[in-house]
Structure 1
């Protein structure tokens, strides 16, 4: 990385930090408590142009790369916004990637500028209750009719569906074949038509400001010009966006851990028990120091993966490892911050419990730590594939 690139990233980091920290912990506590979407936060980032960070300038974006996007979202998470702010921003940044790479010119010119400005909110319709991480077994079907398709099926854990205008929807357009299980799925970018799609919100542990939902799709009509790329190649298009998503999730976890560590260190300096700051006790200080080390190491792996991606090199193993390390280091830091605060950690006044609830998600999503280890076992070590 050149000095110029380092200075560029520093500028992104500084600008994103200043903007994100206009919204304090009390703002996020209220959004979490009331389960309100953080529209004011999104608008601030839209007005500053950050929602289009990876969208080319010709389509209304900033035309920057994954490294800049990753740094920006890390600063969002570490500001105290956590996953509530991180998800609100990154769903403008990465779900549009298949449209950018494979959508028609008409589709890109019509929708990408609106996404960059925050005028259009997307949902990402892939996961299904019966398929889990085995996307080849999705059951949502799109049947060909004159001028388009009719879609029926069910999706689960779909973010933004309470408010989304559009949905990037994966459906089977031909039956699953055992020899080529990932063929025959098609991506559609279409309206989230609430007359044809029933949206049912899922009550969950954390990230309450950002809705998660079940979708029940009943005879949704989709036009031919709403197909992204070629029919039957939808899963291939999704793959292109997986490594960037893993990098960003890693840095969200790291950002959450840094926010917790910052609060815990301040508290450990100020909290006096037995006539001395609790930070003097190695039982308090050493776990926090260990978390600092692990967060630093995880960040370096994530930025290494991002750099490989931008150099058009294979970064699958590095991106998966970054996600693993970021989720583990972030959760450990938040958990240790909980221990530092003791009984007060359960009080919403101190905000630690919200960060802890939100970072726990990253051990499971967008795929579990066990699946990362399965992947690394096969891809890095050459062991027999177990999935």
Structure 2
């Protein structure tokens, strides 16, 4: 029977999904997930369980302190987390990105953080976006100066998820001047400890992804040891860029998880809710939007799977990852809207997870990069003139 389950997955991948579900069932039930979202809390117990199971360490090889998973493994785990609590999936992706940064061959002593991040002992966040620099990271104003073996950082970062829980924030800052036509040069990635007077964190309360802990981070002579440099000085943007394909396909996986959960919830509801003496799922006006959603969902999954195959085979996947993120997020926004309409007022009730999926799906349209910018990149890769 047609369902939202993935098809033709390996036994190992299916088992990985099952392990993820079992952890969630033990530590974060569907009811607890709604309560966590409502309160905007970080599910610390679940996070530790994910670390103990090795799921947090998928992004890094075993010899580096991780658990040696593939990109496909990370996609499957992310999707399962997003089905239960999308905010948790966002934090999971951020943690995996931190580990990918720490695997850079140029990392020195700071790479010792990797096993601690993989176990959940240390929580790492990313300080990239600023009030005047989001999609255009080259416009950032945060500065870092090396003085007597210490980095001194000044600036402000915004829309930084997981910052309240983080022991360390990986901050992209300008460490060296660069010519106007080479602004990507001179940007460095520095691991900044949060437990110090020079770092202030302020929560930003969003309508969606409430439990992801989105914050502003203020750096007022924040200090970090010289060895906190991640990779080579002045090449921080290169390190980040190397992981963007994975980040975007994982963002697509978050959307798949949200869309799948919303679709499953709506299908179950219309089979039980009766009107005019029969289930509303027997009405064509209800069936067709859900049928469209099933077709579009599986098309989006196929694109994500194709992108994963390219990344794992070592092929260039910049545009494919962008397309996967674009299609999955736009598809999910439509799916959740249709699913909520099928459920009527119950879809908007606080006791229903549908309202959470509806709110959280909106963020995926412009995070971690806006779909408008993704379209620009795809068009440029197709040989059209740059439009920005």
The CA distance in 2 between the partners of 1:44 and 1:142, in whole Å, is: 36
Q: Report if the CA contact (8 A) 1:12-1:72 is conserved.
A: yes
- Aligned residue number for residue 9 of structure 1: 13
Q: Report if the CA contact (8 A) 1:46-1:118 is conserved.
A: yes
The CA distance in 1 between the partners of 2:106 and 2:361, in whole Å, is: 33
Question: Is the aligned partner of 1:219 residue 2:224?
Answer: no
Match of 2:187 among 185, 188, 192: 185
- Aligned residue number for residue 68 of structure 2: 63
Match of 1:327 among 303, 309, 329: 329
Q: Report if the CA contact (8 A) 1:200-1:214 is conserved.
A: yes
Provide structure 1 residue ranges, at least 5 long, that are not aligned to the other structure.
none
- Aligned residue number for residue 90 of structure 2: 87
Q: What are the superposed Cα offsets for residues 252-300 of structure 1, whole Å, 9 maximum, x if unpaired?
A: 1011001011110011000101111111112111111111111111111
- Aligned residue number for residue 104 of structure 1: 107
1:207-356 aligned at under 5 Å gives the runs 207-356=209-358
Alpha-carbon offset, residue 105 of structure 1? 4.6
Match of 1:141 among 111, 134, 143: 143
Question: Is the aligned partner of 1:45 residue 2:40?
Answer: no
RMSD: 1.7
Q: Report if the CA contact (8 A) 2:130-2:156 is conserved.
A: yes
The CA distance in 1 between the partners of 2:236 and 2:369, in whole Å, is: 19
SS in 2 for 1:155: strand
The CA distance in 2 between the partners of 1:154 and 1:12, in whole Å, is: 39
Q: Report if the CA contact (8 A) 1:102-1:228 is conserved.
A: no
- Aligned residue number for residue 33 of structure 2: 28
Q: What are the superposed Cα offsets for residues 149-183 of structure 1, whole Å, 9 maximum, x if unpaired?
A: 21101100011111210111110012342221211
The CA distance in 2 between the partners of 1:198 and 1:16, in whole Å, is: 34
SS in 2 for 1:349: coil
Alpha-carbon offset, residue 85 of structure 1? 2.1
Q: Give the structure-1-normalised TM-score.
A: 0.95
Q: Report if the CA contact (8 A) 1:98-1:237 is conserved.
A: yes
Alpha-carbon offset, residue 139 of structure 1? 0.3
The CA distance in 1 between the partners of 2:63 and 2:128, in whole Å, is: 29
Alpha-carbon offset, residue 114 of structure 1? 0.8
The CA distance in 1 between the partners of 2:364 and 2:319, in whole Å, is: 18
The CA distance in 1 between the partners of 2:15 and 2:31, in whole Å, is: 27
Q: What are the superposed Cα offsets for residues 78-116 of structure 1, whole Å, 9 maximum, x if unpaired?
A: 2x22x22212322222222111124535322x2111111
The CA distance in 1 between the partners of 2:115 and 2:106, in whole Å, is: 14
Q: Report if the CA contact (8 A) 2:333-2:362 is conserved.
A: yes
The CA distance in 2 between the partners of 1:86 and 1:243, in whole Å, is: 17
Q: Report if the CA contact (8 A) 1:136-1:176 is conserved.
A: no
Q: Give the structure-2-normalised TM-score.
A: 0.94
- Aligned residue number for residue 117 of structure 1: 119
Runs of 4+ in 1 over 4 A off after TM superposition: none
- Aligned residue number for residue 384 of structure 1: 385
1:357-368 aligned at under 5 Å gives the runs 357-368=359-370
Aligned pairs, how many?
381
- Aligned residue number for residue 3 of structure 2: none
Q: Report if the CA contact (8 A) 2:300-2:324 is conserved.
A: yes
The CA distance in 1 between the partners of 2:57 and 2:173, in whole Å, is: 27
SS in 2 for 1:127: coil
The CA distance in 1 between the partners of 2:208 and 2:246, in whole Å, is: 24
The CA distance in 2 between the partners of 1:375 and 1:4, in whole Å, is: 31
